[in-house]
Amino acid sequence: MRDSFIEAVCERMDENKNIFFVTADCGAPALDKLKEDFSDRFINVGIAEQNLINVAAGLALEGCVVYAYAIAPFLTMRAYEQIRQNLSIASQVRPVNVNLIGVGAGMSYVVSGPTHHCFEDIAIMRLMPNMTVFSPSDWKLAADFAGYTIHKSGPKYLRFDGKTLPLIYKDTDNIVLENGFYKLLNGDKVCIISTGYMTHKALKVASEFQNVGVIDVFILKPLNEKLLFEAIKNYRHIITVEETFINNGGLDCLVSKVIRDNRPNIGFDNLGISDKHIFELGNRDYLHKLNGLDEENIKEIIWENNW
Amino acid sequence: MKPEILDFLTKKALWVRRETIKIHGIAPETRLASSLSDVEIFVSLYYGKILNFNPKKPKWLGRDRFIISKAHGAISLYPILADFGFFEKSELTRVCQKGSFLGGIPDTQISGFETVNGALGHGLGVACGSAIVLKSKGLKVFVLMGDGELFEGAVWEAVMFAFQHKLGNLVLIIDNNKISMLDYCKNIINLDPLEKKFQAFGWKAVVVDGHNIDKLANSLKDLKADNSDYPKVLIANTVKGKGVSQLENDVLCHVKSLNKEEIARAMEELK
């Protein structure tokens, strides 16, 4: 999804001379072409995420549309204060169109250990006023978002998975990006709500049932709470699945607030990473199993509530 | 510099110091000592006609950018901006009061300030981004930082970046008042030899007495006119709390607020 997004940006750089692409020494096949075609608007700041944000902010203050690319945990956490001061606060007073491309959401860099896992980003980026948080589940949705980033001012965090994922959205014509989510499967009693990589797992689990709904949340801020409630109000039970720390501001908190504010008797389970870092090694499915994000566990919750 | 111009600028500096102390009397939370060491820098830039600006159109695209990274020390810029008409002079009497837009740390909601400030070490990197865009337009980007601010690691990311990208339109001014919050900088992290450090990073470095308006204004003028690719730094040697002996002699002056009696004494000194 990273490359499809960069390709979509690259296409727009030809006609829009105000677009800059800045990277903290992170590459991508699609970036090679961008670098070659637009060398005067491609900047590699080196492994310096703080300066990445500051330089991006300076470019944006001069009216440029800026894409700032780094590894997700380092982008969001190493440079958190720069994002706060020069993007979140500044954009409340002056136009600042900086789009943060964080690659390596959740467990993307599975064997690189807890420094490269990114379980905090949804919560900490949602926390900041004026921020948009985008978490696509496939490359088509990611590419569609490129046009949105140019025309909607303000800082945005784009949370991309580090692995190549299969297509979910064959056709995005019917998707209204501003709605922030899409009902992939209509269900009866139980609905799985997921974001990013986990939407693939949610669909796989739901395919084994006839009546389990799946909602893919791709904009975690701003969230159209009213619309989301309309989508889930008739379910008996909701399960959120995400590769982030749960109970601390992620997708689960967002959904549980919608439930609490509107119909508190909807049943709710939130699956994700509990309050500890993961040192264990293995593939993504293995780490999911260790943390209750495996298919069997999701199915068990469905069986308990699908009656 | 012609004597009458020097006299004009000297009188302005005195006026700015007195106005700054008056503001401190209204808003004791303001950082007075930090705002007194850079008075001649502000006076030279604005009254010395170094900066291009338009108070009627503060965001005029043809202006030079002036990013004040050590914004806690820019209370002394309030009277100057009011004097030029960026906002009403009456606003100076309600700094930090209910309904005022002039806070203890100025930011971009105030006409004349470019960036959000407060956390240190950000301004130079932001200035680098601006300088990239403005270089081809022949516009300059000035940045003011304190010497204690150089402790922030992000500053050095930007220092290296500016040289790499040949940001010759970038002029960094260091208010080298040699005192941080709790101690002399040399006792915390010794920054010497500062000039050589910047030279080693590829910058053109100039050292000047930061209270000598004649030399300061001329140095700034020369650096602005220098169109070489080297980023430039002016190390202005200053005295923290300059002009107020109660502050000048106190290593903890950064956090010191003057009471009414002390303010009266300071005003007596500045006549």
Both A21 and A140 in one domain: the answer is yes
The mean pLDDT value for B90-99 works out to: 97
Whether residues A19 and A138 share a domain: the answer is yes
Q: Do residues B112 and B64 touch, judged by C-beta distance below 8 A?
A: no
Task: Express each pLDDT in A44-75 by its tens digit.
Answer: 999 999 999 999 999 999 999 999 999 999 99
Final residue of a domain: which of A125, A160, A195?
A160
Q: Tokens 């009216």 sit at which residue? A: A63
What domain count does chain A have?
Answer: 2
Is A94 in Cβ contact with B126 (below 8 Å)? Answer: no
Domain boundary among A111, A130, A160: A160
pLDDT, residue A57, reads 98
Looking at the structure, do residues A226 and A196 belong to the same domain, yes or no? yes
A168 within some domain = no
- Alpha-carbon gap, residue B31 to B34, rounded angstroms: 6
State whether A145 and A82 are in the same domain.
yes
Q: Which of B119, B130, B160 sits opposite A62 (nearest CB)?
A: B130
Q: Is residue A74 part of a domain?
A: yes
Residue B27 pLDDT: 97
A122's tokens: 């949804």
- Tell me, yes or no, whether A128 and A187 share the same domain: no
pLDDT digits (tens, 9 = 90+) for B200-239: 999 999 999 999 999 999 999 999 999 999 999 999 999 9
The answer to whether residue A17 is domain-embedded is yes
Nearest-by-CA chain A residue for B136: A40
Q: How far apart are the first and last CA of chain B?
A: 23
Clarify whether residues A185 and A301 are in a common domain: yes
User: What residues in B contact A81, CB-CB < 8 Å?
Assistant: 119, 122
Going by C-alpha positions, the residue among B261, B258, B271 that lies closest to residue B21 is B258
Q: Are residue A124 and residue A67 in the same domain, yes or no?
A: yes
Q: What 3-state class would DSSP assign to A70?
A: strand
SS3 content of chain B, % helix, strand, coil (to 5): 45, 10, 40
Chain A nearest CA to B26, separation (Å): 26
Q: Nearest-CA distance from A33 to chain B in Å?
A: 21
3-class state of residue B195 by DSSP: helix
ipTM given for this complex: 0.96
Candidate from B116, B128, B153 with C-beta closest to A89: B116
Q: Tell whether A24 is covered by a domain.
A: yes
Where in the sequence is the domain holding A301, given as residue range(s)? 177-305
Q: Do A54 and B119 touch (CB under 8 A)?
A: no
Tell me if A210 is assigned to some domain: yes
Is the distance from CB of A243 to CB of A110 less than 8 angstroms? no
Q: Which of B114, B129, B133 sits opposite A54 (nearest CB)?
A: B129
The whole-number pLDDT of residue A50 equals: 98
- Best A22, A62, A89, A96 residue to mutate vs chain B (most B CBs within 10 Å): A62
In terms of C-beta density within 10 A (0-12 exposed, 13-18 middle, 19 or more buried), how is residue A173 classed?
A: exposed
For residue A54, give the nearest of B126, B153, B160 by CB distance: B126
Residue type, B70: K
Residue to mutate among B115, B124, B140, with most A CBs inside 10 A, is B115
Mean per-residue pLDDT of chain B: 97
Q: Contact, B85 vs B120, CB < 8 A?
A: no
pLDDT value for A258: 97
Segments of chain A with pLDDT less than 50: none
Residues near A64 by beta carbon (within 8 Å), at least 6 away in sequence: A18, A19, A20, A97, B133
Domain assignment present for A198: yes
Same domain, residue pair A299 and A263: yes
Task: Identify residue B132 by its one-letter amino acid code.
Answer: I
Closest residue, chain A, to B114 (C-alpha): A61
Domain assignment of residue A262, yes or no: yes
Given a contact cutoff of 8 angstroms between Cβ atoms, the answer to whether B67 and B142 are in contact is yes
CA distance A52 to chain B (A): 8
Contacts of B125 in chain A (CB under 8 A): 50-51, 53-55, 57-58, 82
Residue environment code for A227-242, b if the CB has 16+ CB neighbours within 10 A, otherwise e: ebbebbeebebbbbbb
User: CA dist B179 to A116, A160, B75, B76, B242, Å?
Assistant: 39, 45, 18, 18, 12
A222 lies in the same domain as A134:
no
Do A22 and A150 lie in one domain? The reply is: yes
> Domains plus CATH for chain B?
3-269 (3.40.50.970)
Summarize pLDDT for A144-156 with one digit per residue, the tens: 999 999 999 999 9
Q: Please report, for residues A159, A196, A280, A299, the alpha-carbon distance to residue A203 in angstroms, rounded to integers and kept in the order given.
A: 20, 12, 26, 12
In a mutational test of the A interface, the residue from B68, B108, B122 whose CB has the highest number of chain A CBs within 10 Å is B122
Whether residue A58 and residue B132 make contact (CB cut-off 8 A), yes or no, is: yes
Q: For residues B79 and B30, is the Cβ–Cβ distance under 8 A?
A: no
Taking phi over 0 as left and psi of -120 to 50 as alpha, with beta for the rest, B25 belongs to alpha
Within 10 Å of residue B103's Cβ, how many Cβ atoms? Answer: 17
pLDDT at residue A307 in the model: 81
Report the C-alpha gap between B178 and A284 in whole angstroms. 53
Q: Which CATH number covers residue A219?
A: 3.40.50.920
Tens digit of each residue's pLDDT (9 = 90 or more) over B256-269 = 999 999 999 999 99
| From A56, A57, A85, residue closest to B119, measured CB to CB | A85
The CA-atom distances, in angstroms, between A196 and each of A76, B140, B201, B229 are 17, 44, 43, 45
Q: Where residue A101 sits, what CATH number does that domain have?
A: 3.40.50.970
Q: What is the per-residue pLDDT for A95?
A: 95
**B50 has a pLDDT exceeding 90:** yes
Q: Which residues of B touch A90 (CB under 8 A)?
A: 108, 115-116
Q: Tell me, what's the pLDDT at B163?
A: 98
CB neighbours of B127 closer than 8 A, spacing ≥ 6? A58, B65, B67, B141, B143, B158, B170, B172
Residues on B contacting A at a C-beta cutoff of 8 Å: 107-109, 114-116, 118-119, 122, 124-134, 153-154, 157-158, 160-161, 165
Both A80 and A131 in one domain: the answer is yes
Examine the domain organization and report whether A255 and A294 are in the same domain. yes
Q: For B127-174, what is each residue's pLDDT tens digit?
A: 999 999 999 999 999 999 999 999 999 999 999 999 999 999 999 999
Show the DSSP H helices in chain B as ranges.
3-26, 32-37, 39-46, 77-84, 123-135, 153-164, 185-188, 194-200, 213-225, 245-248, 260-269
Q: Which residue of B has its CA nearest to A50?
A: B154
Q: Identify whether A70 is part of a domain.
A: yes
Of A93, A126, A160, the residue at which a domain comes to its end is: A160
pLDDT at B122 over 90: yes
Inter-residue contact A196 to A105 (CB < 8 Å): yes
Are the beta carbons of B193 and B184 closer than 8 angstroms?
no
Size of interface A-B (CB pairs under 8 A): 89
Asked if A61's CB is within 8 angstroms of B161's CB, the reply is no
Instruction: Decide: B56 and B86 in contact? Cβ < 8 Å.
Output: no
